[in-house]
């Protein structure tokens, strides 16, 4: 029997806009397929050994104060996390978690917070006089295995700029995305960064299943009844007038 070990990075500090729902979705959709699931809550002070035991990593977003605490602790695990991501361990990094993997984040007051530099990108908040990027969003995923649009809700002040060595998660069809309405998120090997809250995975079960397959190195997953999920997606897309 397969076992899925999910590493939930900083759940006590990086869990805003309902990002806990991503963990619930991954766990439920795995258990419905008779996959044993263990969720390791990796709060400040966790060990590199515990991190290495994880098949899939998930990290949410937070406010600036919490992000500063996490940024300091996460640096202790920079080498291990970088090695895992480069080795293809899949991960979903939302908002602040997404920004941490870049080169740096510039706060609204101009303060520069160095990132881990795993993703070739940087993020800047243009300042308090500029609007936040808020609203429903739909993107065409830059992942061949995903045939459905990815839909969700974005709420971020930072504008993210991708380097030449990083691919976007998808193309924006409706909404703001990273900065100019053209791209959303980032994709590096089997790790994905995104601004989609809401949370993202309950609205996009195909993406959740894709992460599970990557984590367990499976070609296919047992079919389950997705009638409710399909109807929910249709309603979201209707509201977005797609």
Q: What is the mean pLDDT of residues 67-81?
A: 88
CB 144 within 8 A of CB 138: no
Residues with active-site annotation: 95, 197
- How sure is the predictor about 232, in pLDDT bands with cuts at 50, 70 and 90? confident
Taking the C-alpha atoms of residue 77 and residue 158, their distance in angstroms, rounded to an integer, is 24
Of 133-147, 164-178, 228-242, the poorest mean pLDDT is in: 228-242
Q: What is the pLDDT of residue 140?
A: 97
Q: Would you state the structure tokens that stand for residue 97, as one six-digit string?
A: 């978690």
Q: What is the mean pLDDT of residues 86-99?
A: 95
Q: What is the pLDDT of residue 236?
A: 84
* 167: β partners: 187
Ranges of each domain in the chain: 3-239
- Output the CATH code of domain 3-239: 3.40.50.880
- Name the helix (H) or strand (E) containing 128: none
Q: Would you state the structure tokens that stand for residue 128, as one six-digit string?
A: 């308090």
Q: What is the mean pLDDT of residues 43-66?
A: 90
């Amino acid at each position: 029997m397969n076992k899925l070990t999910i590493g939930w990075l900083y759940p006590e500090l990086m869990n805003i806009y309902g990002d806990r729902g991503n963990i619930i979705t991954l766990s439920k959709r795995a258990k419905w397929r008779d996959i044993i699931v263990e969720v390791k809550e990796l709060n400040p002070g966790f060990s590199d050994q515990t991190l290495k035991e994880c098949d899939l990593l998930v990290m949410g977003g937070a406010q600036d104060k919490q992000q500063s605490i996490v940024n300091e602790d996460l640096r202790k695990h920079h080498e291990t996390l970088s090695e895992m991501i480069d080795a293809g361990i899949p991960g979903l990094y939302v908002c602040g978690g997404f920004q941490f993997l870049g080169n740096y984040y510039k706060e609204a007051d101009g303060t520069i917070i160095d990132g881990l530099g795993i993703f070739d990108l940087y993020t800047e908040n243009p300042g308090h006089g500029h609007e936040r990027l808020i609203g429903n969003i739909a993107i065409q995923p830059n992942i061949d295995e995903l045939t459905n649009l990815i839909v969700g809700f974005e709420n971020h002040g930072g504008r993210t700029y991708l380097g030449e060595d990083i691919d976007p998660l998808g193309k924006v069809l409706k909404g703001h995305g990273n900065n100019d309405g053209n791209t959303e998120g980032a994709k590096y090997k089997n790790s994905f960064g995104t601004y989609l809250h809401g949370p993202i995975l309950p609205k996009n079960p195909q993406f959740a299943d894709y992460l599970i397959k990557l984590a367990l190195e499976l070609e296919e997953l047992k079919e389950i009844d997705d009638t409710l999920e399909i109807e929910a997606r249709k309603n979201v897309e209707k509201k977005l007038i797609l």
